Amino acid sequence: MSAQSVGNVNLTLFGERSNRNANVQNVEYVPDLCANLLSVRQMTKNGKKLVFEGDECLIYDEDRQLMATAIVENELYKLQCEIKKDKALIAKGNFELWHRRMGHVCNKSLQDISKYVEISAPSENKKCITCTKAKQTRNVNKSSGTRESKLLELVRVMFLVRCKASRFVALNIY
């Protein structure tokens, strides 16, 4: 059996009077093991004192304060603790909320995302107002303004002429 990786583990140690947080460093991950093991030698090298009395092991920190207790269970000392596991936040929401969060994506894209995020089914016959407005085209009013029937019948040219007083004057020539 060999370790696949090395890391740190955060524990909550259950004491007689109060609980205590501890960080165990250089923990080797061996997936073939069916239990988590602590090395007595590593603990004593790190300044901890272990006292074995009857069916329990008392673990003291560097200041000789009781930090944890281990009780015999199935011929092994079981540390009274809880491993703090990293938590991943799970996103939830309804279809309309995720549609807006993802920048008004199409329904197929949201169905693909729903494999990884808990998204409720879309409401029947409910359409996104923003998407509807964005897909509309502007109506062009063809009757506005004048339209000449012959080529170059009306040419309007605007000239800007600079006067002596550094002003611009617009001249319209038809």
Tens of pLDDT, residue by residue over 40-53, are: 898 899 899 999 99
User: 0.75 exceeded by the pTM?
Assistant: no
The better pLDDT of the pair 71, 140 is held by 71
Name the band, by pLDDT with cuts 50, 70 and 90, for residue 72.
very high
Tens of pLDDT, residue by residue over 116-126, are: 777 777 777 77
Residue with tokens 């200041």: 63
Question: 16: which DSSP letter?
Answer: S
Length of the chain: 174
Residues 6+ apart with CB under 8 A from 149: none
Nearest CA among 80, 88, 86 for reference residue 8: 86
The whole-angstrom separation of Cα 85 and Cα 77 is 22
Residue with tokens 């309007």: 156
- CA-CA distances (angstroms) from residue 39 to 11, 27, 54, 64, 169? 15, 10, 19, 19, 92
Contact 78, 72 (CB under 8 A): yes
SS3 40: helix
Name the amino acid, one letter, at 67.
M
The whole-angstrom separation of Cα 128 and Cα 174 is 49
Tens of pLDDT, residue by residue over 79-89, are: 888 887 766 66
The structural domains of the chain, with segments of one domain joined by +, span 5-84, 92-134
| Residue 68 reports pLDDT greater than 80 | yes
- Average pLDDT value for the chain: 78
Residue range 57-71: mean pLDDT, rounded: 89
Residues 6+ apart with CB under 8 A from 21: 10, 11, 12, 13, 84
